[in-house]
Homo-oligomer: A and B are copies of this chain.
């Protein structure tokens, strides 16, 4: 028309929240998505449901997130950050007492912690949500970091620390996950099993 000043908003804005109001909106969207994921799993996580539970409109969701997976990105990042905090804490404890027993004890305690905080969310993120390549890489990187730290801590105690570290870390992770997070009928209590796991791993590093 004659109106030459028509403002063309870019097709897909995806703004960064500037004002307090919008920052709250972003948070409320993330919380909503996290709860849906935790309570009802990936299958129930659709953008309309996220908006509804957050008490905002779908449009707002797409104002701050280019697509659904970008929401997962943030949720995953925050979850991994918690895990990394536990790792860093563990690393500092080990540097004070670098015995093989301590490594095992910290590892098991750390993974119990990771799997106890929000088990449902952890389950959703680790075996329900289909992670894309980049997301899987981030998860793998955390795992690699734990293995490397463990390997370094073991290097003065055992031969072939890389192999031992891989086994220790994967065993602690996989078994605490299965007993604390998966809802399989475990015939023995998770606590007993965690202790037993620690015994087994200790025996393994001390003997080998």
The interface on chain A, measured as residues whose beta carbon lies within 8 A of the other chain's beta carbons, has a size of 35
Summarize A's interface: helix, strand, loop or mixed. Answer: helix
Q: Is the CB of B162 within 8 A of A187?
A: yes
Shortest Cβ gap from A23 to chain B (Å): 33
How far apart are the CA atoms of A60 and B102 in the complex, in Å? 61
Task: Report A161-194 CB contacts with B as 1/0, cut-off 8 Å.
Answer: 0111011001100110111000011111000110
How far apart are the CA atoms of A145 and B62 in the complex, in Å? 49
How far apart are the CA atoms of A192 and B178 in the complex, in Å? 24
Q: Report B-chain residues with C-beta under 8 Å of the C-beta of A128.
A: 130
Interface residues of A (CB under 8 A from B): 43, 127-128, 130, 140, 143-144, 147, 162-164, 166-167, 170-171, 174-175, 177-179, 184-188, 192-193, 196-197, 199-200, 203-204, 207-208
